[in-house]
Amino acid sequence: MNISAAAQLASLPPKTIRYYEDIDLVRPGRLDNGYRDYSESDVHRLRFLQRSRSLGFTIEECRLLLSLYDDDHRASADVKAIANAKILEVDRKIAELQGLKTTLSALARDCHGDDRPECPIMDDLAGHHEQ
């Protein structure tokens, strides 16, 4: 499959996909005419990248996550430890999004749609969980 089909499936611009190849995150095959040729599994990687990047993971974090699947030489114990660490991070992000949603919902609820609300929501703006 060519790059724009892959782009469609992965919800990523072709430019970004080429960039991911430059930095060795994905290694599509090439056709005789020089066109990149993406397999199903390449598209899976790309979708994974799209998802985790849009959720605030850095490229290097994504590379690490992908390496969990790639690296046959990595000890399983390492894989497990890294995966568990990332799960905690994901849980934290979910909690933060839920806090954000609470803030936004309060704002939407308090807006009658015709006048400016009193909104002391600013107090809540930053969430209340200490870290």
Partner DNA sequence: CCTTGACCTTCCAGTAGATGGAAGCCCTAT
Partner DNA sequence: ATAGGGCTTCCATCTACTGGAAGGTCAAGG
The neighbour count for residue 126, using CB atoms within 10 Å, is 9
Nearer of residues 18 and 86 to DNA, judged by Cβ: 18
Residue 5 found at the interface with a second copy (CB under 8 A): no
First to last CA, the chain: 46
Beta-bridge partner residues of 36:
30
By CB under 8 A, residue 15 contacts a second copy: no
Three-class DSSP category at 35: coil
8 binds, among a second copy, DNA, none (CB under 5 to 8 A by kind): none
Q: Return the sign of the alpha-carbon dihedral for residues 99, 55, 92, 130.
A: negative
Residues that bind a second copy (CB under 8 A): 10-11, 41, 43-48, 51-56, 65, 68-69, 72, 76-77, 79-80, 83-84, 86-87, 90-91, 93-94, 96-101, 104-105, 107-108, 111-117, 119, 121-123, 125-127, 131
